[in-house]
């Protein structure tokens, strides 16, 4: 079908989490006309996920801490982070935090910052710890967007990036019940990760991987797609609430049938103490035994594992844990006295669209930031750096997009878009999510990954029904198509990485292989994907540094 140009802007930002909002503000401050397209309402996506109290945010303590932070990002990332991105990232965090603070956003500070709970996940020391409170962020960001004249397009879902002469010049959107073509001189992609391609996920349904698939289709490269954070979350009560990993050392874990999850001995306490230092699963540490046991129990009985807390923690919790339970009581009506059942959920992606330090993607007119991107984290990610990523690279994307508008042509007056029906979209989505839960979560192996890939191929064969002009039906089919493309990328990267590294764990290859200390990159389209190891990193291994 041919769609006429609905409206055109200098900069179109797709995605309304921290990264997208920051990009929109920066582009508007540069004098551009800006539209911010939110798949749901404004302040959506993983940034404003309702299953936790707010946004953890860390940065270097001061200028002297920058080299250590950069080295630690590389070390925790198991050599899978890009050094230019890491150095740009570390240097940009403090200015980004100060800008947010200067806008008036309330940042919670630690009163007892030397308590071990304030050491960020996977880190080895305390940093500049901040907490962005949701209510303050919404009020301040909302007021600033309005003051700058940013046009907010709520419930506006991107379905396809529009290109003319190999330049991205807009997007086809589902908006107000119809298919619309919004043009732009530069587009910022900030659509988030791909957690909801898994059955159990600690994110909203719109975090579906559609941005990764659209970017791939437009000519971008994806990187580190096999590195997906998996972490405990509530099954009941308060389903999909994020479990506070700092409490692990105070827990008693039992299977649904009442049996202890782990042997009741001193070794178990050591593992639980270590497990309290990080939120997501990692294959790097002995604490992986806790997650593996938890996930196996969850697969066997999806009532999950019962968690109760020690009297010590209930009577005298550390400050960080107190903050969590204060929020939990207010938001969910739960206290530390209430038993809960937990399982392992997909949480956040460490990989995505490959970007340069200025957030350019290699495709003219297209910039990307936030969780849709990859390369600045690696195989594991330090806690609090997801928010820092959104602020730092969101700002860079807004500024770079504004600069790109100067010599950019106007968007064409019309574009082509092919719409299809998919009558079984809901059932097919559930089938995909089940396959990814079964074979691509914490426990991965050759046979399971190939089985999941076979499911994806079978679903792709059923995808296209009849051509359609019905916007809602077209959007459903397109959404599933993109989810399948992104799932295929995750599975093929996981198959190629025949080792365990950080968040990627292969039961059939449980050890890290130094020969595979290279990023896996993906390019092409879903019918002809190229999934390959990038060129070897340069020889700076003693400092855990790597080059592109």
For residue 473, the model assigns a pLDDT of 93
In a shared domain, residues 431 and 331: no
Question: What confidence tier does 397 reach under pLDDT thresholds 50, 70, 90?
Answer: very high
For residue 542, the model assigns a pLDDT of 35
For residue 129, the model assigns a pLDDT of 87
pLDDT of 514 higher than 90: yes
Question: What confidence tier does 47 reach under pLDDT thresholds 50, 70, 90?
Answer: confident
Assess contact for 393 and 385: CB atoms under 8 A.
no
Record the pTM. 0.94
At residue 538, the 3 state secondary structure works out as coil
Report pLDDT digits (tens) over 81-95. 999 999 999 999 999
25 is a domain residue:
no
In a shared domain, residues 249 and 332: yes
Mean pLDDT, to the nearest integer, of 412-417? 95
Mean pLDDT, to the nearest integer, of 436-444? 97
For residue 51, the model assigns a pLDDT of 67
For residue 544, the model assigns a pLDDT of 34
CA distance linking residue 73 with residue 343, whole number of Å: 28
Mean pLDDT, to the nearest integer, of 144-155? 96
How many of the other CB atoms lie within 10 Å of CB of 412?
A: 16
In a shared domain, residues 333 and 439: no
Domain boundary among 325, 346, 367: 346
For residue 54, the model assigns a pLDDT of 66
Spacing of C-alpha 523 from chain mean position? 20
Mean pLDDT, to the nearest integer, of 175-185? 96
Question: In this structure, what CATH number is given to the domain that contains residue 295?
Answer: 3.90.700
In a shared domain, residues 427 and 529: yes
Helix (H) or strand (E) holding 477: helix 471-496
The per-residue DSSP string of 402-470 comes to HHHGGGPPPPPSEEE---B--TTHHHHHHHHHHHHHHHSSS-B-HHHHHHHHHHHHHHHHT---SB---
Residue 522 is part of which domain span? Answer: 418-533
Question: What confidence tier does 465 reach under pLDDT thresholds 50, 70, 90?
Answer: confident
Q: CA of 232: how far to CAs of 242, 248, 276, 387, 494, in Å?
A: 7, 11, 12, 20, 21
167 is a domain residue:
no
Indicate the range of 103-107, 129-133, 374-378, 500-504 predicted with least confidence: 129-133
Helix (H) or strand (E) holding 133: strand 128-133
In a shared domain, residues 330 and 437: no
Domain boundary among 284, 314, 346: 346
Assess contact for 157 and 174: CB atoms under 8 A.
yes
Furthest-apart CA pair in the chain: how many Å? Answer: 70
Report pLDDT digits (tens) over 238-284. 999 999 999 999 999 999 999 999 998 889 999 999 999 999 999 99
Indicate the range of 36-40, 107-111, 191-195, 478-482 predicted with least confidence: 107-111
Question: What confidence tier does 492 reach under pLDDT thresholds 50, 70, 90?
Answer: very high
CA distance linking residue 41 with residue 338, whole number of Å: 33
Q: How many residues does the chain have?
A: 548
171 is a domain residue:
no
129 is a domain residue:
no
13 is a domain residue:
no
For residue 541, the model assigns a pLDDT of 40
For residue 40, the model assigns a pLDDT of 85
pLDDT of 134 higher than 90: no
Domain boundary among 315, 346, 377: 346
Spacing of C-alpha 466 from chain mean position? 33
For residue 540, the model assigns a pLDDT of 37
Looking at the 3D structure of the chain, how many domains does it have?
Answer: 2
Report pLDDT digits (tens) over 190-231. 999 999 999 999 998 889 999 999 999 999 999 999 999 999
* Alpha helix positions (H), 105-257: 134-147, 210-218
Mean pLDDT, to the nearest integer, of 363-372? 97
Helix (H) or strand (E) holding 40: none
**What is the token pair recorded at 157?**
């879902």
* Higher pLDDT, residue 543 or 390: 390
480 is a domain residue:
yes
398 is a domain residue:
no
Query: What value does the mean pLDDT of the chain take?
Result: 93
pLDDT of 237 higher than 90: yes
Residue with tokens 């080059």: 547
CA distance linking residue 494 with residue 54, whole number of Å: 31
pLDDT of 538 higher than 70: no
Mean pLDDT, to the nearest integer, of 525-547? 63
Question: In this structure, what CATH number is given to the domain that contains residue 447?
Answer: 1.20.58.100
* Alpha helix positions (H), 31-82: 66-76
Indicate the range of 318-322, 430-434, 496-500 predicted with least confidence: 318-322
Closest by CA position to 122, among listed 282, 297, 252: 282
Pairing of strands 34-37, 2-14: parallel
Question: What confidence tier does 124 reach under pLDDT thresholds 50, 70, 90?
Answer: very high
pLDDT of 545 higher than 50: no
In a shared domain, residues 248 and 339: yes
pLDDT of 539 higher than 70: no
In a shared domain, residues 334 and 422: no
In a shared domain, residues 522 and 439: yes
CA distance linking residue 334 with residue 182, whole number of Å: 45
For residue 368, the model assigns a pLDDT of 98
204 is a domain residue:
no
Mean pLDDT, to the nearest integer, of 161-186? 96
In a shared domain, residues 239 and 332: yes
pLDDT of 428 higher than 90: yes
Mean pLDDT, to the nearest integer, of 73-80? 96
């Amino acid at each position: 079908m041919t769609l006429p140009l609905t409206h055109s802007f200098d900069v179109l930002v797709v995605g309304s989490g921290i990264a997208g909002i920051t990009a929109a503000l920066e582009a508007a401050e540069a004098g551009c006309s800006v539209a911010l397209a939110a798949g749901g309402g404004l302040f959506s996506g993983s940034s404003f996920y309702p299953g936790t109290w707010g946004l953890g945010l860390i940065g270097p303590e001061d200028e002297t801490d920058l080299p250590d932070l950069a080295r630690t990002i590389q070390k925790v990332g198991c050599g899978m982070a890009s050094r230019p991105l890491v150095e740009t990232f570390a240097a940009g965090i403090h200015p980004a935090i100060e800008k947010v603070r200067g806008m008036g956003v309330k940042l919670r500070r630690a009163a007892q910052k030397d308590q071990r709970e304030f050491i960020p996940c996977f880190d080895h020391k305390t940093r500049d710890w901040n907490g962005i409170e949701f209510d303050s962020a919404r009020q301040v960001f909302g007021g600033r967007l309005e003051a700058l004249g940013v046009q907010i397009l709520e419930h506006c879902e991107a379905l396809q990036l529009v290109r003319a002469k190999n330049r991205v010049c807009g997007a086809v959107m589902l908006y107000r019940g119809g298919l619309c073509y919004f043009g732009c001189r530069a587009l910022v992609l900030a659509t988030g990760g791909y957690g909801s391609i898994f059955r159990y996920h600690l994110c909203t349904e719109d975090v579906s991987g559609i941005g990764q698939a659209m970017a791939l289709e437009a000519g971008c490269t994806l990187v580190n797609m096999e590195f997906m954070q998996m972490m405990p979350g509530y099954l009941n009560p308060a389903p999909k609430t994020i479990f506070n990993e700092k409490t692990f050392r105070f827990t008693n874990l039992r299977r649904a049938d009442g049996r202890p999850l782990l042997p009741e001995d001193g070794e178990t306490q050591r593992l639980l103490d270590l497990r309290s230092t990080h939120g997501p699963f990692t294959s790097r540490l002995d604490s992986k035994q806790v997650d593996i046991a938890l996930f196996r129990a969850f697969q066997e009985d999806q009532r999950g594992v019962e968690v109760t807390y020690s009297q010590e923690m209930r009577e005298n919790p550390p400050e960080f844990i107190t903050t969590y339970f204060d929020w939990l009581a207010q938001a969910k009506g739960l206290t530390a006295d209430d038993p809960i059942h937990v399982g392992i959920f997909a949480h956040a992606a460490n990989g995505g669209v490959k970007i340069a330090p200025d957030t350019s993607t290699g495709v003219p007119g297209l910039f990307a930031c936030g969780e849709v991107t990859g390369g600045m984290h690696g195989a594991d990610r330090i806690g609090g750096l997801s928010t820092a990523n959104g602020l730092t690279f969101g700002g860079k994307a807004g500024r770079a997009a504004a600069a790109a508008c100067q010599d950019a042509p106007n968007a064409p007056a019309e574009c082509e878009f092919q719409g299809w029906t998919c009558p079984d979209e809901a059932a097919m989505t559930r089938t995909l999510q089940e396959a990814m839960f079964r074979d691509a979560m914490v426990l991965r192996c050759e046979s399971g990954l190939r089985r999941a890939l076979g499911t994806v191929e079978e679903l792709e064969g059923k995808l296209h029904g009849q051509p359609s002009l019905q916007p809602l039906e077209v959007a459903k089919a397109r959404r599933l198509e993109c989810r399948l493309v992104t799932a295929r990328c995750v599975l093929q990267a996981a198959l190629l990485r025949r080792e365990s590294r950080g968040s990627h764990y292969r039961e059939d290859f449980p050890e890290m292989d130094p020969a595979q200390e290279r990023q896996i990159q993906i390019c092409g389209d879903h019918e002809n994907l190229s999934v390959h190891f990038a060129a070897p990193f340069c020889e700076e291994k003693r400092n855990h540094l790597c080059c592109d």
